[in-house]
Amino acid sequence: MCPPNEDIKDEDVESAKTRAKRKRLAKVLRVLVAVGLFVVGLIVGALVAGLLADYYGYWKGRSECKDTSANCPFSKAAVAADSWNCSEIGRNILQKGGSAVDAAIAALLCTSIINPQCAGIGGGVIFTVMDSSGKVKIINSRETVPRNVNSDLLKLCRKTTEWTMECRWIGVPGEIRGYEAAHRLYGKLPWADLFQPTIKLILFYHRYIEALKFANGLKKHIRDPNFSSDKVSISKFAPAFLISSDKTHDPQYYGKNSYLDSIGTTHVSVLAEDGSAVSVTSSINDEFGSNVLSSSTGIILNNHLNDFCGRAHNIFHGERPPSNMAPSVLKSPSKTLVIGGSGSEMIPPAVASALMNHLWFGKSLKEAIDTLVVLVDSQSEVKLESKLEKVIYSVYLNDKLIISTGFVPSEPHNYFKLFTEHQ
């Protein structure tokens, strides 16, 4: 046992204890300051992340995106159709508790009215449906070869398009059958509810356009009553210009000719809040299909039997024509991509180009879709899609093509040429 150190005084022992306490206190303060700074950092980081999430639209529960571009994220559901009106109708169906299939059918019914030159219930449809569990079902309701088809029909195939605009090229329509099958399997809302938005849209614009037709035709009869002796009783005058909700008249009836243009195929993509998705492509083939209206229903009928041309020597009753349609649903652990296209032979390269640029090259979906498409035509020539210009209301058929995207080439190319000399 060591003897006590006589040189150490009581005051020295006390000062040593004080210094030790100070060191322990300083250490505790440093720890508290570090913890405090860490907590403050977490709070600031959370606030910044929250503000950024809210700014870019990822905040949970955000129901509407202010960005109108294709880059805009939608946290719940989305519908993309040919027109804003049809997309809105599909979205409203989802908001009412409808399924993705309900929304797709409603959007297609709208498209058949907004763009009757592209698609309609006189054509055919292919659904690719993924339910909320991830199971996928394909519903093929394309047109079929009729029973009394001419066995030599394909010998009439030629390189132009005008020869397909007649009754012999009409396939048995399958569009409504496809709607019915899809709705039976996946529908949530009553069948009639899917038609009502389009019926309402039809009635409004039909009456509005009829009023414009009559008004335009009557312009030549407007005279200053003080300088005209042609005065007619309103009671006798008005009935001739009453608007009917279920019919129109020949252009001459209104006193002015009208001209319709543009050609078709259409596509609708739907992604519902429950994770289910629908990608559906519809077509009546060429501009207004066969150019034949059903005498009993007024439905525009397709000319899809010419899809067999160059691909088969014979066709048989019930056979469906080949198709370029590519309605696609891509699923990964983090997201779902619903995509498709329109434009006949342009569909496969256009869809492939968009997917390649988005998934492989990391472009945004808008950039991927906007990227010009490289394609190989029927003559095996490699071509680049021409730069596109957006068209709002109309285009001239003599040198340009409008597809369901609402765009036309700025300069005509051989593979965009249309036949316009209708009989």
Tell me if 103 sits within 8 A of 93, measured CB to CB.
yes
Q: Which residues are annotated as a binding site for L-glutamate?
A: 142
The catalytic residue among 111, 128, 265, 281 is 265
SS3 content of the chain, % helix, strand, coil (to 5): 40, 15, 45
CA distance 43 to 49: 10
Judge whether 346 and 373 are in contact, CB under 8 Å.
Answer: yes
Report the SS3 class of residue 7. coil
Bridge partner residues of 402 (DSSP): none
Closest CA to 153 of 316, 380, 357: 316
Q: How far is CA 29 from CA 21, 41, 168, in A?
A: 12, 18, 92
Phi-psi region of 318 (alpha: psi -120 to 50; beta: other; left: phi over 0): left
> Strands 277-283, 266-271: parallel, antiparallel or unpaired by DSSP?
antiparallel
Task: Give the integer Cα–Cα distance in Å for 332 and 229.
Answer: 77
* Cβ pair 305, 293 in contact under 8 A: no
Work out the number of other CB atoms within 10 angstroms of the CB of residue 301. 26
Helix/strand/coil for 339? strand
Task: For helices 196-218 and 84-95, give the axis angle rounded to 10 degrees.
Answer: 150
Distance of alpha carbon 190 from alpha carbon 192, whole angstroms: 6
Closest alpha carbon to 111 in 211, 194, 187, 212: 194
Clarify whether 266 is annotated catalytic: no
Query: Which residues carry out catalysis?
Result: 265
